[in-house]
Every structure is written in C-alpha cells, then in structure tokens.
Amino acid sequence: MSTFGDRIKKARLESGLSQEALAKAMSQLADKKRISRTAITQWESSKTKGIEAANLLKAAKVLNIEPDWLQFGTGRMRPQLEMQQLHFDDNARFVPLLSYTQAMNAMEKNRDVLPQVGLDEQLAQVASSLSFALLIKDNSMSPLFASGDIVIVDPSIRPSPGEFVVAKIKDHDGIVFRKYRLLYMNGAHQFELIAINEDWGKIVIHNETDGEIIGTLIEHRSKRRLVDPSKMVHES
C-alpha cells in the first residue's frame, strides 16, 4: 500500500515539477505562507507523520489531484473533469478569443468576426467593453496556468502588485502573460513581469518604450478546453 510520501511524489513527477517548483507554487496560494523545498523532501520521504490541512489542500490544488487520494489513498487520483454547460440568454455578454499575436492590437480588431467566449452574469457586470479572452499557449506560468487554459483580460483595469497581466514587450513577437511586480527606481515607475515557472526568466520594464501593460486578469478558466492551442489560427 502506498504512503502519503509515495503519492505526493508520484503526483509531483507526473506534473513535471521539481520539489523547488512545487514549493514555490504552493507558497503563492491563499495565505502565501512560505513552503520550503525541505518540507517537500520530508513529505516525500515520509519523515514527517502528517501534513497540515492547509498544506494538503494547497498541494492538491497545485498538483490537480483529489485531497482524499493524497491523504488516504482512497478514491480517484485526479478530479473528474466536467465540462460546464453554460446557457446564455439573448442579452448575454461575449468577448473575443484572441491569439497572442492578435492581442498585441486588441483594441483595433473587428471583434465581431473573431471566435467568442461567453461571460457569466456576475463577470458580465464588471467586465468592460474592451475585455477579451486569451488562450494560454506555453508553460511559463505553470502549474497555476497551463497551456490550453483560457484567461479573461480587461484592459480598463490598472493592475495592483501581485496581479496577473498581459503585456506587450518591445521587439517581442506577440505578448506575454505574467505576474505584475511594481518597482520604483530613481523616482520612475518601473515594473517586472514574473513567470511562475522558474525555468522562465523575469522581464524588467524600465520605461514605456520597453513595454506596456495591455490588460489585467479578471477570470481564469482552467477546465474548459474550448480550443486546441495547436489548432489556433495565427495571423501572418
């Protein structure tokens, strides 16, 4: 019979995460309490008798596994994916689904001819008319944002430190989706764009010519595979 240590290691390896990456991702959640790589090592080697409930839930969320399976080895390992059926009335709000290239000039697009993503009633009340959907195409923000996830972005919202943004970078073919970190250097407004995946470097924006924020995340859809990223039509 497998132990808790066996199960968390199995889930981590299947997710392609190092112990350091798992600890870092867990530290980003909820109370942002720091989790060390040493703690992950101890859990996997079963050197500790148990795990705090909060840490159990964080690990399960990052690794996309069921908490009961992780703690007790019972039930299914992975959550059962249920495609959510959304029903929209005649007054429903929709936003265009853009590629990374299209998002560079989101405000200039003929939005009606693009694929559309529906907004639920609550989101529709707060999303501006400039909002758009973006299909994540890489693993720079994994494990929190996976390739194929959809994010809803609002260009009218000014980001606060720690929020997730879409940004246009000078001499970059397309846009990037990153965590926003505000900097003040020599009295100037500067910022960093941080990737959650430690294999991707941070981007420092020193002035408006280096890059600009296009919009701020207002919703993350991690279980709706509306479009295959490999089949997304990109502009030439």
Indicate which CATH number applies to the domain containing 101: 2.10.109.10
* DSSP 3-state of 210: coil
Residue 31 structure tokens: 């109370």
Domain that holds residue 214: 94-231
Say yes or no: 42 and 112 in one domain: no
Say yes or no: 162 and 55 in one domain: no
Domain assignment present for residue 77? The answer is no
The per-residue pLDDT for 135 is: 87
- The segments of the chain whose pLDDT lies below 70 read 1, 16, 30, 79-92, 106-113, 172-174, 185-188, 223-236
The per-residue pLDDT for 141 is: 92
Say yes or no: 161 and 213 in one domain: yes
Domain assignment present for residue 41? The answer is yes
Query: 90 exposed, middle or buried (CB, 10 Å; 0-12, 13-18, 19+)?
Result: exposed
Query: 92 exposed, middle or buried (CB, 10 Å; 0-12, 13-18, 19+)?
Result: middle
Closest CA to 148 of 225, 50, 84, 202: 225
* Helix H or strand E segment including 204: strand 203-205
The domain total for the chain is 2
The per-residue pLDDT for 43 is: 92
In whole angstroms, give the CA distance from residue 224 to residue 47. 38
The per-residue pLDDT for 103 is: 82
Domain assignment present for residue 89? The answer is no
